[in-house]
Amino acid sequence: MCLAIPVRVAELRDDDTAIVDLDGIRKEISLALVDDVRVGDYVILHVGYALARLDADEAERTLALFAAAAREAA
Amino acid sequence: MKYIDEFRDGDLALGIAAAIAAEADPARTYHLMEFCGGHTHAISRYGVTDLLPPAVRMVHGPGCPVCVLPIGRIDLAIRLALDKQAIVATYGDCLRVPASDNLSLLKAKARGGDVRMVYSPADALKIAAAHSEREVVFLAIGFETTTPPTALVIREAARTGATNFSVLCNHVLTPAAITNILESPEVRRLGTLALDGFIGPAHVSTVIGSRPYEFFAEEYAKPVVIAGFEPLDVMQAILMLVRQINDGRAEVENEFTRAVTRDGNLKAQALVSDVFELRRSFEWRGLGMVPYSALRIREAYGVFDAERRFGLETRSVADNKACECGAILRGVKHPRDCKVFGTVCTPENPIGSCMVSSEGACAAYYSYGRFREIPVVPAGAAA
């Protein structure tokens, strides 16, 4: 139910909407719940609405944490 | 796909698993509840349980909106479709939930009810615009993720002056449910549930932020780690919980920093509070009546409230006697403890709601885990 997926914003449209790209599938979604979205940003898409913008730096940091935990254990 | 594949890397998963095994104290047990159905699904689908040491036990929580929606509320939607000839639009997950009289919304459709599956609440409003002569009711369910889109659609209906559109609101709140699990009297009746920590919601937290969980960490001295829905997110959160428990800490930590902040999505929160207000009490399947755990539509938007519009009264309907959904939703029982699991109750023919949604504990266990405990016997050795 709370299923939501990260999608790339491909095009900004009027009325707080955008075209997103999901591995080649293009779809119109609403940006009414988020501010300052730019083309190329990734957003979390849920029932046709972007809920949040993904922070690329934080994603890198989390991946680095995974790698660090794995390294420590090895 | 970006932000998905790299969070499912098998080698990294083994590395994190080794870290968990190294740090978990084999002399004690770590009972960790994943509140969300999304986490339950990820844990089952990716076999996360198989990567954990015996000391770490995952307990499934009630965070599946389809699973906790009481029969009486589905009955209301079915009656609107069959008796009032309304078009009932809802998310696909809701269609197969078993209701009274051996009906579900899908079976009501087979009996001639106009029930339609929609991807988005905006689609329900479009149906209303296309059928101005019919009443169109959107059966809204979901936690804090799904509530802001419903709020937007109700505001849009008000803006466009829609006269044939209403919402049957079943939006529920995560923090109230977690509190209920920790302190309700039923926990004692159904058995003691020893919980050492929580994996906090992913997408719900993008909306409400991490702040609401600070209360649990403090009040109940239980650590909470908010985690994304990918398998590595879940494993990292387990490692963070094990560390907190080992250190005797009970804090709110955020593993899902790429999408969750402490304050959450303030714009969405403002919209939700403009359109909705707290219900004094709401029935949850499995948890019973939970105080201040759900939302209703405010008076200002009352014309779009299906309960007001049709004068609906919710009846409380008991679950099937053989069904253990109640105890399973609380984490007190496991799907394998239920007599009808996998025999009478299957995803094709669900008796209880935990078997309906793929995020339900029973459906997840049925799809991914149920053969795991059967010992593998080499051919020829059986005789």
Q: B320-331, pLDDT tens digit by residue?
A: 888 888 888 878
CB B204 within 8 A of CB B354: no
Q: What strands lie across the sheet with B56-63, from one edge to the other?
A: B56-63, B30-36, B197-200, B224-226, B252-254
ipTM of the complex: 0.95
Q: Is A37 in the B-facing interface, judged by CB distances under 8 Å? A: no
Tell me what the mean pLDDT of segment B80-96 comes to. 95
pLDDT of A53 reads 96
Mean pLDDT of B238-242: 98
CA distance B185 to chain A (A): 28
Cβ contacts (< 8 Å) between A1 and chain B: which residues? 37, 64-66, 91, 93, 141-143, 145-146, 357, 359
Q: How confident is the model at residue B1 (pLDDT cuts 50, 70, 90)?
A: confident
Of A47, A48, A62, the CB nearest to B255: A62
Mean of per-residue pLDDT scores for chain B: 92
Per residue in B167-224, pLDDT tens? Answer: 999 999 999 888 887 776 655 555 556 789 999 999 999 999 999 999 889 988 999 9
State the helix-helix crossing angle for B231-247 and B37-45, rounded to 10 degrees: 110
Listed ranges B54-63, B91-100, B262-271; the one with the highest mean pLDDT: B262-271
User: Bigger pLDDT: B239 or B60?
Assistant: B239
Whether the per-residue pLDDT at A46 is higher than 80: the answer is: yes
Q: Which residues of B touch A44 (CB under 8 A)?
A: 203, 206, 259
Residue B152's pLDDT is 98
pLDDT of residue B353: 83
Residue with tokens 């790429």: B258
Note which residues in 138-157 of chain B have CB less than 8 A from chain A. 141-143, 145-146, 148-149, 152
Residue B381, pLDDT > 90, answer: no
- The pLDDT of residue B189 is 59
**What pLDDT, on a 0 to 100 scale, did the predictor assign at position B4?**
93
CATH architecture designation of domain B67-174+264-309: 3-Layer(aba) Sandwich (3.40)
The rounded Cα A48 to chain-centroid distance in angstroms is 13
pLDDT at B170: 97
Maximum CA extent, chain B = 74
Residue type, B216: F
Look at the domain B5-64+175-254 and name its fold.
Answer: Rossmann fold (3.40.50)
Residues whose CB falls within 8 Å of the CB of residue B287, separated by 6 or more in sequence, listed in order? B62, B68, B177, B180, B181, B184, B186, B326, B329, B330
Set out the domains of chain A in order of their start, with CATH numbers: 5-73 (2.30.30.140)
Q: How far is CA A33 from the centre of its chain?
A: 13
pLDDT at B319 (0 to 100): 82
- Residues A46-52, mean pLDDT to the nearest whole number: 96
Nearest in space to B121 (alpha carbons), one of B154, B72, B95? B154
- What average pLDDT does the segment A38-55 reach? 96
DSSP-based helix, strand, coil % in chain B, nearest 5: 45, 15, 40
The model's pTM is 0.92
Average pLDDT in the B359-374 region?
Answer: 86
DSSP letter at B7? G
- Asked which of A8-17, B32-41, B288-297, B366-375 is least confident by mean pLDDT, the reply is B366-375
The span from the CA of B134 to the CA of B158, in Å, is 17
pLDDT tens-place string over residues B120-161: 999 999 999 999 999 999 999 999 999 999 999 999 999 999
The letter for the amino acid at B220 is Y
Per-residue model confidence (pLDDT) at position B57: 93
What's the pLDDT at A1?
Answer: 67
Question: If you count residue pairs, one on A and one on B, with CB atoms under 8 Å apart, how many are there?
Answer: 142
Is residue A9 helix, strand or coil? Answer: strand
Q: Specify the pLDDT at position B9.
A: 95
- The C-alpha angle with vertex B361 and arms to B106 and B350, in degrees rounded to 5, equals 30
pLDDT above 60 for B112: yes
| Amino acid identity, position B183 | E
Average pLDDT over residues B301-317: 96
**Contact criterion met (CB < 8 Å) for A65 and B236:** yes
The pLDDT, as a whole number, for residue B185 is 63
Q: What is the mean pLDDT of residues B237-256?
A: 97
What residue spans define the domains of chain B?
A: 5-64+175-254, 67-174+264-309
CB contact under 8 A, A2 and B148: no
In this prediction, residue B370 carries a pLDDT of 82
Tell me the per-residue pLDDT of B27-40, one tens digit each, with 9 for 90 and over. Answer: 999 999 999 999 99
Neighbours of B190 (CB within 10 A): 16
Contact B205, B226 (CB under 8 A): yes
CB count in 10 Å sphere of residue B313: 8
Most confident of A9-13, A21-25, B218-222: A9-13
pLDDT above 60 (res A25): yes
> Which residue type, as a one-letter code, is found at position B230?
E
